[in-house]
Amino acid sequence: MKPVSIAIACFGLFGLAACGTPAERCQASVSSEERAVTRLLGEVNENLARGYAWENEVRGGTGFSFCAGGYRSGRVGLGYGSCYGGPDTVRTRVPIDPAAELRKRDALQKRLAGLQAGGQAACIARYGTTPQM
């Protein structure tokens, strides 16, 4: 077999292996949701402890700067020009409403408890077996 044929066959087999059974996909979905809710709950608790939240704002990064580079003729030169430095992310403090954050925390705690109590059980009830991962 040619190396290209072997590579295509390997990618195809790896693709099929990555799919998983429906029960495994269900469990992965529930686990992913639990991780996301846990992360959000931690963020809300940190905001309550600090008294403010952090907000990231992306600002444009174009401007004039001193740039070094090569030319097509092979010479290296320095010049003053417009260089794109990429967008900048600025982190700022944002005041929070403690009552709203408490309500958000309570809702996330209920959501997490529901996921932990019934998420995996729903997968087992739906597919009839405990997924092996």
Does residue 113 lie within any of the structural domains?
yes
| Cα 105 from Cα 97, distance rounded (Å) | 12
The domain tally of the chain equals 1
Q: How far apart, in Å, do the first and last CA atoms of the chain sit?
A: 34
Domain membership of residue 102 (yes or no) is yes
**Alpha carbons 50 and 123: distance in angstroms, whole number:** 38
pLDDT value for 98: 94
How high is the pLDDT of residue 37? 93
β-sheet bridge partners, residue 63: 83
In the predicted model, what is the mean pLDDT of the chain?
A: 77
More confident residue, 47 or 122: 47
Cα 112 from chain centroid (whole Å): 19
pLDDT at 24: 79
What is the bridge-based pairing of β-strands 76-84 and 88-95?
unpaired
2, 9, 27, 104, 130 from 21: Cα distances, Å: 32, 21, 10, 35, 11
In a domain, 63, yes or no: no
Average pLDDT over every residue of 49-60: 88
Q: Is the pLDDT of residue 63 over 50?
A: yes
With 70 as the cut, is the pLDDT of residue 74 above it? no
Asked, for residue 111, whether it belongs to a domain, the answer is: yes
State pLDDT tens for residues 105-114. 999 999 999 8
